Structure 1
């Protein structure tokens, strides 16, 4: 349910929009990561990117800080690594459950075989 009262709308400068668009164009950086780091909605950034393609927002001459671009790339790599580790963790849990189940069934059959020999 929406909050009562007037809606808050933010006005961003053309320089901010151009910088956001340039950051989103850095190779290896996702639009969602840029939007999250700038605390804006990804749809808004996508709209700004479209406006830049149409020439409504001028991005030429806007320099992107190398530290910020490197940080966004690192964030993207960390997210990829995290997803890979989650997948590996899930596989290891399944393998442990499988081997535990095999040990439980194999130990019963080996104890039954010993009882038959006696």
Structure 2
């Protein structure tokens, strides 16, 4: 929980707490709002922490900072693989249609 400094009503969260909150919010099945509600903080505060995390203001180790990128890269890679599969299927259909048209032209018509 937050530690209150004397004379202030503002909560001070530890760096470890902020890092864990940001890492949870970057998981694919979670949203900023759901993480903020679970941790009992305002979503805007979590968004500010995410921006500071991206900008490197937390002074974290590079290995922690790079944890976010593989998820995005993995999602993008899987989307590209799906698109390649779709395009290959379309290409196969067009090739079959082209062969069908060529066969139709070669057959003599009974008229």
TM tier relative to shorter chain: 0.5 to 0.7
Say what the alpha-carbon RMSD is for the aligned residues. 3.9
Task: Determine the structure 2 residue equivalent to 1:43.
Answer: 33
Is residue 74 of structure 1 aligned with residue 70 of structure 2? yes
Considering Cα pairs closer than 8 Å and 6+ residues apart, tell me whether 1 or 2 has the greater RCO: 1
Q: Deviations over 1:29-64 (max 9, x none)?
A: xx86x144xx7543134665512578xxxx9x8543
Instruction: Name the TM-score, length of structure 1 as normaliser.
Output: 0.51
Alpha-carbon distance in 2 for matches of 1:102, 1:95 = 11
Instruction: Name the TM-score, length of structure 2 as normaliser.
Output: 0.53
Unaligned runs of 5+ in 2: 3-12
Q: 1:49 to 1:67 in 2, by over 3 A?
A: farther
Which 10-residue stretch deviates more, 61-70 or 91-100? 61-70
Q: Deviations over 1:65-107 (max 9, x none)?
A: 4223223212211211211221121111111111112212211
Matched residues, number:
89
